[in-house]
Amino acid sequence: MVDDNELNRLRHADVPVPDADAKARAFEAAMRAYDMDEKTDTAAQGSASGLRLTERAQKLWSEIMPKKLFATPAIAGLVALPIAGYATIYMLQEQSLHSSTGGKITETLADKPATVKPLTVAEPDKQKKADADSESRDATEALVAPAPPPKSESTAAGGLVQQDPSAAPVLSPRFDLKTYKNTKDMQHGTLPAAPAPSDEFSRESAGLMPSAPNAARVGRMPGAESKLMVQPKAMPADQMLPPEQNRDRVEDFKTNPVRAALEDPVSTFSIDVDTASYSFVRRSLKEGALPQADTVRVEEMINYFPYDWKGPDAATTPFNSTVSVMPTPWNEHTKLMHVAIKGFDVKPAEQPKANLVFLIDVSGSMNEQDKLPLLQSAFRLLVSKLKPDDTVSIVTYAGDAGTVLEPTKVSEKDKILNAIDTLRPGGSTAGEAGIKEAYRLAQKSFVKDGVNRVMLATDGDFNIGQTDDDDLKRLIEQERKTGVFLSVFGFGRGNLNDQMMQTIAQNGNGTAAYIDTLAEAEKVLVEDASSTLFTIAKDVKIQVEFNPNKVSEYRLIGYETRALNREDFNNDRVDAGEIGSGHSVTAIYEITPKGSGGEQIDPLRYGQASVNNGGVANADEYAFVKIRYKLPNEDVSKLITTPVTSANEVSSFDQASTDQRFSVAVAAFGQKLRDEDATAKFGYDRIMEIATAARGADPFGYRSEFLSLVRLASALGGNR
């Protein structure tokens, strides 16, 4: 037994610098003690552990000190150093947290005293000690550490207490060996960072390190008010994270108004084969919320579905148009003029070679399951659709743009798929640099008379470099003149820049789609691959002139963001939409026949003579439809015209074709979601009735899914 004089001498002696071997042996001994403590801990979740922190320290100290390894004061002091250091770190963290929160801690239900059921522990003496101390410790749980013996001196940091030699050191409740081990592992990169605190406590003191999972500790913050600090048990990650900020950018637009045919008889717009809006609406409804009105573009919802319109007989005429007039289901005083366009379906053997550049956003925001991982699966599907002679390149952007894969033939499919699989998220979004690099690679492997296309996949903004939509538009316009087109695919929620997607897709002679599921990826990139990749006509514009002698009023359903000026129709320099192989495009006008009693605009006092003088040509026509287009490799447009007469009319809505009736149901649904006046009194039940009767064969289940969306909208918004 060492006497007091010897201990006093050792207390004031200089501690020699420990060597590396001594450190390793001390750490190994500490870990063995820690492992043994883990094996004897049988605490159930939510209960106090068998030993408190002070008891763990006493146990560790009592097991380490008798060893011959610690026969000298230098080695004994060596063990105390790392423990004191980490205890001090955690006490400083508490002090920092206290300062950042103003010294205020929210008291929760966990602050209330709780009855702790005695635990069964392997060693009888440990259980006996726990039972004996249970009552007294319940009364002192608010203390940072048990009261020290008379001879003790606490350090300034409050992390380690020097005690009488007869007693083991007492550690702050913020420290245990498991925390120490995890901290060391994190320093060496073997463990992820500790999770954020949870529940009410996390809202008051974000940043506090959570306690070890095998014990609940209660203590008082240094210098805090008389509120109790509680470390609750770990909560699921989705409860710990703050609400995600929604930064989706969607273009605002007003619904097309009713126009008087006498005053404004001509309607001009660019066709649209994008489908992003329908997928976005579907996701909103399936997540239990009605979509924001401006996310609903009715024409994109209508054109999401494949229709069996009559197509052209030969590739020399890239598409055929069919116009029909039918009664309006939601207004007995009006009619619908239904314009359907069907593109020529290029047979697989005739498909031109494809030169594709995958431009992939790998910024940090893409690190979500429905973003980069879904994107990778989607592009793997697309690669499986390509022919061996087709070429694929991959460019990524996040902070800087980089080439992941130089132009590679699809015959080397494994190389392409491996490049896709190795993509990892991280960084900010340098979209402009990525686009320039993608176009460079597209030009490098350009295929004459083939498909040359950049396929941009992203979740949102370009926040480094050229970020203005107008600047991006000009960049894309310059590049499309070289024969390289651009398509955009959006992923995820909360950061989606739909407005930018629409802008650059429309000006890049491409399409915009939103991919929210792998099934949607298969539809867009596999089932619709021909129409997505192989353009058969570009800059397709529609202009309709209404005959005031037969039509009083009209309104175009949808296409608000694709409107063109009247003079743009004959201007070949004005960009418009594209039609892909086998693609269909549908446009619907609601017209008010003259004299039907459904007019919403008062007639002009002095305008009647111009239409009732008997000299109006083609007075029996409802309208005259003109379609202007260019072949993919030409810059001069061609014209197709179709007069609309009573021969195009059906007497009842039920006599219209199945596809026509279903497309009208989708148009009604889109207007209903936008809360438009025209369908205000037209209930979801009537939409469901029309769509159900017109579901048809539905081989891919798209129409059945539409019916489920109508039911969801009805439940969320009421069957108004």
Q: What is the pLDDT of residues 453-462, one digit of tens each?
A: 999 998 876 5
For 645-666, how does the pLDDT look when each residue is reduced to its tens digit (9 = 90+)? 999 999 999 999 999 999 999 9
> Within a domain: residue 611?
no
Segment 699-712 shows an average pLDDT of 96
Give the pLDDT score at 661: 98
Identify the band that residue 599 occupies on the pLDDT scale cut at 50, 70 and 90: confident
Q: How many secondary structure helices (H) and strands (E) does the chain include?
A: 20, 21
**150 and 213 assigned to the same domain:** yes
Q: What is the residue range of 421's domain?
A: 348-503+521-527
- The DSSP string of 666-706 is HHHHHHHHTT-GGGTT--HHHHHHHHHHT----TTSHHHHH
* 14 vs 52 pLDDT, higher one: 14
In the prediction, which pLDDT does 442 show? Answer: 93
Q: What are the φ and ψ backbone dihedral angles of 407, each rounded to 5 degrees? A: -50, 125
Q: What are phi and psi of 554, to 5 degrees?
A: -155, 160
Q: Is 636 helix (H, G, I), strand (E, B) or coil?
A: coil
Q: Are 134 and 172 members of one domain? A: yes
Reduced to 3 states (helix: H, G, I; strand: E, B; else coil), residue 395 is strand
Q: Name the residue with higher pLDDT: 625 or 212.
A: 625
Residue 1 resides in a domain? no
pLDDT band at 483 (very low <50, low <70, confident <90, very high): confident
Looking at the fold, whether 325 and 382 belong to one and the same domain comes out as no
The helix or strand, by DSSP H or E, that contains position 326, with its residue range, turns out to be strand 319-328
- Tens digit of each residue's pLDDT (9 = 90 or more) over 105-146: 333 333 344 444 444 444 445 444 444 454 444 444 433 444
Within a domain: 515 = no
Weakest-pLDDT range from 417-431, 512-526, 540-554: 417-431
Q: Structure tokens of 304?
A: 């999401």
**CA end-to-end span of the chain:** 90
Closest CA to 638 of 317, 345, 342: 317
**Residue predicted with more confidence, 481 or 295:** 295
Q: Please indicate, yes or no, whether residues 304 and 362 belong to a single structural domain of this protein.
A: no
591 has pLDDT over 60: yes
CA-based R_g, the chain, Å: 36
pLDDT top residue among 137 and 482: 482
CB–CB of 541/270 below 8 Å? yes
pLDDT digits (tens, 9 = 90+) for 347-388: 777 778 999 999 998 888 888 899 999 999 999 999 998 999
Q: Give me the phi and psi of 588, to 5 degrees please.
A: -130, 130
Q: How far apart, in Å, are the Cα atoms of 618 and each of 7, 13, 277, 339, 624?
A: 118, 115, 39, 20, 10
β-strand partners of 409:
391
**Structural domain contains residue 604:** no
14-42 confidence digits (pLDDT tens): 666 767 777 778 778 777 776 665 554 44
Residue 22 lies in a domain: yes
How far apart CA 168 and CA 657 sit, in angstroms, is: 89
495, 527, 559 - which closes a domain: 527
Q: 507 falls in which pLDDT band (50, 70, 90)? A: confident
In a domain, 607, yes or no: no
b/e burial code for range 164-189 (CB count within 10 A of at least 16 → b) = eeeebbbbbbbbbbbbbbbbeeeeee
Share of the chain above pLDDT 70, in %: 62
Scanning the structure block, which residue is given the tokens 């309006």?
A: 328
pLDDT the model gives residue 410: 96
CATH number of the domain where residue 460 is located: 3.40.50.410
Q: How confident is the model at residue 480 (pLDDT cuts 50, 70, 90)?
A: confident
| 253 part of a folded domain | no
- CA dist 365 to 362, 400, 472, 584, 670, Å? 8, 15, 21, 35, 30
- Per-residue pLDDT tens over the stretch 666-688: 999 999 999 999 999 999 999 99
Are residues 157 and 230 both part of a single domain?
Answer: yes
* 3-state secondary structure at position 334: strand
pLDDT band at 452 (very low <50, low <70, confident <90, very high): very high
Q: Look at residues 186, 207, 240 and tell me which one is the last residue of a structural domain.
A: 240
Q: Could you tell me if 212 and 282 lie in one domain?
A: no
**What pLDDT score does 541 carry?**
96
Rounded Cα gap, residues 646 and 651, in angstroms: 10
61 and 88 fall within a common domain? yes
As to burial, measured by CB atoms within 10 angstroms (0-12 exposed, 13-18 middle, 19+ buried), residue 373 is middle
How high is the pLDDT of residue 47? 40
Encoded tokens for 612: 């009732």
So what's the pLDDT on residue 58? 56
Question: What local confidence, expressed as pLDDT, does residue 22 receive?
Answer: 75
58-75 pLDDT tens trace: 555 555 555 544 445 555
Distances (CA, A) of 183 to 209, 218, 400, 692: 11, 21, 33, 61
Q: Is residue 477 part of a domain?
A: yes
Distance from C-alpha of 382 to C-alpha of 529, rounded to nearest angstrom:
8
Closest Cα to residue 671, out of 657, 683, 661? 683
Is pLDDT above 50 for 343? yes
Q: Which of 675, 668, 679 is nearest to 706 (CA)?
A: 668
One domain for residues 361 and 432:
yes
Element at 259 (helix H, strand E): strand 259-260
In the prediction, which pLDDT does 129 show?
A: 47
Write down the pLDDT at residue 430.
58
pLDDT: is 224 or 303 the higher one? 303
Q: Is 548 left (phi over 0), alpha (psi -120 to 50) or beta?
A: alpha
The reported pLDDT for the residue numbered 34 is 65
Length of the chain equals: 720
Report DSSP state, residue 195. P
Closest CA to 311 of 291, 341, 347: 341
pLDDT value at 564 more than 80: yes
Q: pLDDT at position 15, please?
A: 67
CATH (domain of 626): 2.60.40.1230
Residues 340 and 199 in one domain: no
Tell me which of 406 and 468 has the higher pLDDT: 406
With CA atoms as reference, report the closest residue to 408 among 447, 355, 449, 457: 355
453 has which bridge partners?
Answer: 356, 485
Q: How far apart are CA 167 and CA 174, in angstroms?
A: 20
DSSP string, 264-316: --EEEEE-----HHHHHHHHHHHTTSPPPGGG--HHHHHTTS-------SSTT
**How far apart (Å, rounded) are the C-alpha atoms in residues 456 and 390?**
18
The tokens describing 645, both together, are 């007469």
How many Cβ atoms from other residues are within 10 Å of residue 194's Cβ? Answer: 14
When pLDDT is averaged across residues 528-540 and rounded to a whole number, the result is: 83
Question: Rounded to whole angstroms, how far apart are CA atoms 689 and 329?
Answer: 11
Mean pLDDT of all residues in 277-289: 94
357 lies in the same domain as 341:
no
Do 217 and 85 have their domain in common? Answer: yes
Strands 451-458 and 485-491: parallel
Structural domain tally of the chain? Answer: 3
Average pLDDT over the chain, rounded to an integer: 74
Q: Specify the higher pLDDT residue, 377 or 79.
A: 377
* Structure-model confidence comparison of residues 309 and 196, the more confident one: 309
Examine the domain organization and report whether 591 and 464 are in the same domain. Answer: no
- Residue 228 predicted with pLDDT over 70: no
Residues 103 and 205 sit within 8 Å (Cβ to Cβ): no
- Confidence at 313, pLDDT banded by 50, 70, 90: confident
Q: Which two tokens stand for residue 238?
A: 């989705």
Q: Determine the distance from the C-alpha atom of residue 368 to the mean position of all C-alpha atoms in its chain, rounded to a whole number.
A: 7
Q: Which residue has the higher pLDDT, 608 or 518?
A: 518
Alpha helices per DSSP H over 359-497: 372-385, 413-421, 431-444, 469-480
The residue-averaged pLDDT of 410-424 equals 94
**Residue range 46-69: mean pLDDT, rounded:** 50
Contact predicate 178/169, CB 8 Å? no
Structure tokens at 383: 């690669």
- Distance between CA atoms of residues 495 and 246, nearest Å: 6
- What pLDDT does residue 246 have? 57
What is the per-residue pLDDT across 613-623, written as a single tens digit (0 to 9) for each? 455 677 789 99
HSE at residue 556, side-chain half, CA atoms within 13 A, is 27
